[in-house]
Amino acid sequence: MAIQNFISEQIDEIFDKCKEIKIYIDSISTTYQKGSKEFNDMLQLWQIRVNSGYEMPAFGVSIHDLTIKELEKGIYIEFIFDKQESHNDMPYETLLVKLQENQYGYQLIRQYDGKYQGRCLYINTTEVNDDLLNYIQSNINKKD
């Protein structure tokens, strides 16, 4: 249990440093600044979800051009940081996550040096919670 709490604290620390959240809906993006109602709501829903989860080895590897193409369809949330951060010796400036119904885990695609490339991070969750996805679908307008 102590290890689980330690990992949860590390995950919390990652997202506490987030300065912006960008939402992509079928390639159209909207950005929310730290402190805005939408930012606070989305970050809270995200942290509720991942706090009941745990980090797992990620089998995913991002290839920049393929990731950019994937952003053309579906819903993604991107956590944007002030400066390059690092977790498990893997640097990132943003963390991009595809949101889908009935997810039991989240692959975090790292962007660094302006590219979505390299090994991903993965958070496994213990139960499905579509609250963040439902919030975005209900409250976020498609706009540039």
Q: How far, in whole angstroms, is CA 80 from its chain's centroid?
A: 9
Dig out the tokens for 131 from the structure: 């609250």
Model pLDDT, residue 10: 59
Residue reference for tokens 């790292």: 110
Higher pLDDT, 109 or 140: 109
Model pLDDT, residue 87: 86
Q: Is the model's pLDDT at 79 over the cut of 50? A: yes
DSSP 60: -
Distance between CA atoms of 22 and 29, rounded to whole angstroms? 6
How much is the mean pLDDT over the chain? 87
Distance between CA atoms of 131 and 134, rounded to whole angstroms? 5
Q: Is the model's pLDDT at 58 over the cut of 90? A: no
Q: Which of 134, 137, 119 is nearest to 48 (CA)?
A: 134
Question: Tens digit of pLDDT for each residue in 32-46?
Answer: 999 999 999 999 999
Higher pLDDT, 105 or 5: 105
Share of the chain above pLDDT 70, in %: 89
